Amino acid sequence: MAVEAGRQRVKGLGFSAHGGLDRLGWVDLPAPEPGTGEVRIRVRAAAFNRLDRFVLEGIPGVPVELPHIVGSDASGVVDRVGAGVTDLAVGTEVLVNPGLWDGTCEYCRAGQESLCRDFRILGEHTQGSATEYIVVPRRNVHPKPAGWSWGQAAAAPLVFQTAWRALRTVGELRPGETVAVIGAGGSVAPAAIQVAHRLGGRVVVVGRTAEKVERAVALGAEAGLVTTPEKPHDRLLWEWSRKRGIDLIFDSVGADSVPRSVRALARGGRLVVIGATEGSKVELDLKTLFWRQGSIRGSTMASRSEFDQVYNELVQGHLRPVVDSEWDWDQGIAAFGRLSDPGLFGKVVLRTAA
Ligand SMILES: NC(=O)c1ccc[n+]([C@@H]2O[C@H](COP(=O)([O-])OP(=O)(O)OC[C@H]3O[C@@H](n4cnc5c(N)ncnc54)[C@H](OP(=O)(O)O)[C@@H]3O)[C@@H](O)[C@H]2O)c1
Ligand SMILES: [Zn+2]
């Protein structure tokens, strides 16, 4: 941490103007101080998601303060606690839940924090985690699981909570049902495959390369299918299911993928949409939807209790973070570039301190 004119400043990976990768660089900001109910964390590792690329490009309707530091996921050491925090010692090793909620609105009061009217994500609506120090509410920090590296601890929070809520709560996955995860690699799919398997689903993963599909199957899928222009995922899933269709489909690709996923649903099937990487405008044949009596549901992040549930699964070793690669602090820009690599499988971790 540098001191300038008596004020401490922190360095972070970020940008001062939206755009492509060429806009990414090092920025510095005043060191954050914890307020009431908050804690400050000396970040040891940050991890990235596709979201960080969207934030760099600029998300319409989501203005960010510039300069802006990227990164939603973090692990580190509690460095200072704000007023009212009496149950967490300085020096505790933690991981951070990047979902931020106000705790007061009707949804929060009902325990539906990810529906909060003021729901925000660390690094999207606030300064991010790829920096030396961050401040978050006390309720967002959880002990780093014993034996985990800083990188593993940073790799878990965002993707596992997303998969857990989408498949268990929103998707209502029941043991024995078929579950298709669209996408083999990247950040969230390797978590979704594990969660679907853990919840008793018969998982089929559909990906774009044989290599990534093979790695994905090893995480708990009973089948892996590789898409080609001639055989898009709806046709593959239709054949694989012997024209029955799939009970639950987890789709983050959006655009062209969603109408295909609807066509691949079984009778009474559910399509859970958690993202729209390829675009959010779709054209749907509603006849398929109502004739099969299917439904399309959206899901984002997780409630506090869902986070606790999936965190316990992780602590007990039933689920494990998948790290694509770990990078040293001075390789931050190259690390971020890895998010665009078609070989990406799991999370990109940036070690922020030795
Ligand atoms: N709502 C939420 O709470 C939430 C949480 C996490 C992520 N998301 C969203 O979910 C999406 C995926 O996130 P991520 O971090 O996993 O992204 P990512 O690392 O870029 O991974 C992209 C995933 O999409 C698959 N994919 C299939 N067709 C694709 C295409 N034409 N173009 C790009 N990808 C394609 C990839 O499959 P292959 O590996 O087989 O190529 C891969 O599994 C993003 O839009 C993200 O914003 C939403
Ligand atoms: Zn709220």
pLDDT in tens, 75-124: 999 999 999 999 999 999 999 999 999 999 999 999 999 999 999 999 99
Residues 118, 235, single domain; the answer is no
116 alpha carbon to ligand 2 midpoint, in Å? 4
Q: What is the CATH number of the domain that holds 120?
A: 3.90.180.10
Please say if the pLDDT value at position 346 is more than 70: yes
Q: Do residues 42 and 64 share a domain?
A: yes
Q: Are residues 18 and 136 in the same domain?
A: yes
Q: Answer yes or no: do 66 and 189 share one domain.
A: no
Domain around 200: 161-298
- Report the pLDDT value the prediction gives residue 3, as an integer from 0 to 100: 78
**pLDDT band at 353, cuts 50/70/90?**
confident
* Average confidence (pLDDT) over 271-282: 97
pLDDT at 173 over 70: yes
Q: What ligand is nearest to the CA atom of residue 103?
A: 2
Residue 354 pLDDT class (50, 70, 90 cuts): low
Q: Where are the beta strands (DSSP E) in 146-264?
A: 178-182, 202-207, 223-226, 246-251
CA of 106 to the centre of ligand 1 (A): 31
pLDDT of residue 340: 96
Let me know if residue 307 belongs to a domain.
no
Nearest-CA residue for ligand 1 atom 18 is: 186
Is there a single domain that holds both residue 95 and residue 197?
Answer: no
Q: What percent of the chain has pLDDT over 90?
A: 97
Report if residue 107 sits inside a domain.
yes
Strands (E) across 116-168 are located at 120-121, 133-137, 141-143
In this predicted structure, the answer to whether residue 23 has a pLDDT above a threshold of 80 is yes
Q: How many domains does the chain have?
A: 2
pLDDT tens per residue, range 178-229:
999 999 999 999 999 999 999 999 999 999 999 999 999 999 999 999 999 9
Ligand 1 close to Cβ of residue 277 (< 6 A) = yes
Q: Which of 298, 313, 342 is the last residue of a domain?
A: 298
Cis amide bond preceding 137, omega within 30: no
> What is the atom index within ligand 1 of the atom nearest the CA of 121?
3
181 plus 37 within the same structural domain: no
User: What's the rounded mean pLDDT across residues 12-26?
Assistant: 98
Same domain, 11 and 137: yes
In this structure, what token pair is assigned to residue 290? 């109502």
57 residue type, one letter: E
Cα 303 to ligand 2 centroid, rounded to whole Å: 11
Q: Residue 294's domain is classified under what CATH number?
A: 3.40.50.720
Q: Which residues contact 31 (CB under 8 A, 6 or more apart)?
A: 1, 7, 8, 9, 10, 132, 133
Quote the pTM value. 0.98
277 pLDDT more than 70: yes
Ligand 1 centroid to residue 5 C-alpha, Å: 43
pLDDT exceeds cutoff 90 at 347:
yes
Tell me, yes or no, whether 314 lies in a domain.
no
Residues 83 and 150 occupy one common structural domain: yes
Task: Tell me the best of 277, 339, 340, 347 to mutate to test the pocket of ligand 1, counting ligand atoms within 8 Å of each CB and taking the most.
Answer: 277
Q: Is the CB of 50 under 6 A from ligand 1?
A: yes
Listed residues: CB within 5 A of ion ligand 2: 101-102, 105, 108, 116
Give the residue from 298, 313, 340 where a domain finishes.
298
| Domain co-membership, 122 together with 11 | yes
Question: Is 120 domain-assigned?
Answer: yes
Predicted pLDDT at 2: 80
135 and 14 share one domain: yes
The answer on 147 and 169 residing in a single domain is no
In a domain, 148, yes or no: yes
Our CA angle for 218, 300, 172, nearest 5°, is 65
**Does 95 share its domain with 122?**
yes
Residue at 59 is within a domain: yes
The 3-state DSSP class for residue 48 equals coil
Residue 316 inside a domain? The answer is no
Ligand 1, pocket-test mutation among 170, 253, 345, most atoms within 8 A of CB: 253
306 lies in some domain: no
